[in-house]
Amino acid sequence: MLTRSFIKVLVVDDFEPWRRFASSTLQAQPGLEVIGEASDGFEAVQKAQELQPDLILLDIGLPRLNGIEAARQIREKAPSTKILFCSENHSWDIAEEGIRIAAGYVLKSEAGRDLLPAVEAVLQGKQFLSSIFARKNSDADKEHVLDRHSAKRRVAPLPPRNVAMRHEAMFYPDDAALVSAFGRVIKAVLSAGNTSIVVATGSHRAEIISSLKADHVDVDGAREQKRFIAQDADATLAAIMVNDMPDKIRCAELLANLIATAKGAQKEPIRIAICGECAPILLARGNAEGAIRLEHLWNELTMKHGADTLCGYVWSTFPQRENSTEFQKICAEHSAVQGQELGYST
């Protein structure tokens, strides 16, 4: 396969079975030597600097420092090292970002077929992208990404109205009104044969599910069919926040996994509606900057997936109501805004 001898490889992944698989696969090839492993982004940067490997297999969703940021630091500390991303993230946005700073991107689910060809291509100075992305994107898109000298693609902000994908905010007088509204939306979505994802606090999820069952909605059946997915808001925030701010890579991975779970179980194309309160929770905790940033990221990321989102806010988080700067900035990130108590609508 490879003619060059003594290729030093560093394997970076927080999932030990994957590191074991990758290491054994590479060690079986003549001329490849796995000289180390790492389980998080900071450790990857440190070992890259110490070991100066020829190649690094690098996961995206790493603890402490994500793979994208780790790759940027590695390029500074080990400039001759080639980087090959190995991730189960199917997001084209993430793959595109990865291919700009690394030599390749392999989906773990296709590693049995793609890993060794990718390693060979990367070591020959070529770029490699798992074939699933070639099937999903046009030739023009691929040429754009694979051209390292092309200008970085700019994503325009979501237009405030008349968009196919809806990202709406609703302001409620209290928690009970929020729970009731989420329940009505979820029931309507399920009744239409589509899929609903709710990201809410534990108490709100329990109340929403209770109200759905009282309204004769087959919640358990919808859950089994992956047509109703309930996610804890606090756990979600813990997964996407870095230094009190939402991290784009982590947000994209979480959203991609949720969408993949919902779509993967359906035989026919479906529309997905998300009811969430992560940004409202950040705002209620005094992190207005983080809330606005999360709403902005959500615009950018859900646009790719075509998922609708309803963000539920309680008026008590805005002492000055619609006159507050935070209120205006949050409204600007949504395609429509409504307020039950004040009758506000745009």
Nearest to 233 by CA among 288, 291, 188: 291
Those residues whose C-beta lies under 8 Å from the C-beta of residue 207, and which sit 6 or more positions away, are 179
pLDDT tens string 267-300: 666 788 999 999 999 999 999 999 999 999 998 8
pLDDT digits (tens, 9 = 90+) for 320-330: 655 578 888 88
Torsion 313-316-322-325 (CA) sign: negative
Q: How far apart are CA 255 and CA 173, in angstroms?
A: 29
Q: What is the CATH topology of the domain spanning 7-146?
A: Rossmann fold (3.40.50)
Residues in contact with 235: Cβ distance below 8 Å, sequence separation at least 6, in sequence order: none
167-345: which CATH architecture? 3-Layer(aba) Sandwich (3.40)
Can you read off the two tokens belonging to residue 89? Answer: 């993230």
Domains 7-146 and 167-345 share a fold: yes
Tokens standing for residue 59: 């996961």
**What is the phi-psi region of residue 225: left when phi exceeds 0, alpha when psi lies from -120 to 50, beta otherwise?**
alpha
Angstrom distances, CA of residue 81 to CA of 1, 10, 99, 101: 20, 10, 15, 12
Cα 12 from Cα 117, distance rounded (Å): 19
Residue 35: predicted pLDDT: 96
pLDDT tens per residue, range 205-230: 999 999 999 999 999 999 998 899 99
How does pLDDT run across 6-41, given as a tens digit for each residue? Answer: 899 999 998 887 888 899 899 989 899 999 999 999
Is residue 157 pLDDT above 60, yes or no?
no
Tokens of 88: 């189960």
Residue environment code for 133-159, b if the CB has 16+ CB neighbours within 10 A, otherwise e? beeebeeeebeebeeeeeeeeeeeebe
Domain residue spans of the chain: 7-146, 167-345
User: Does the predicted TM-score (pTM) go above 0.75?
Assistant: no
Percent of the chain with pLDDT over 70: 84
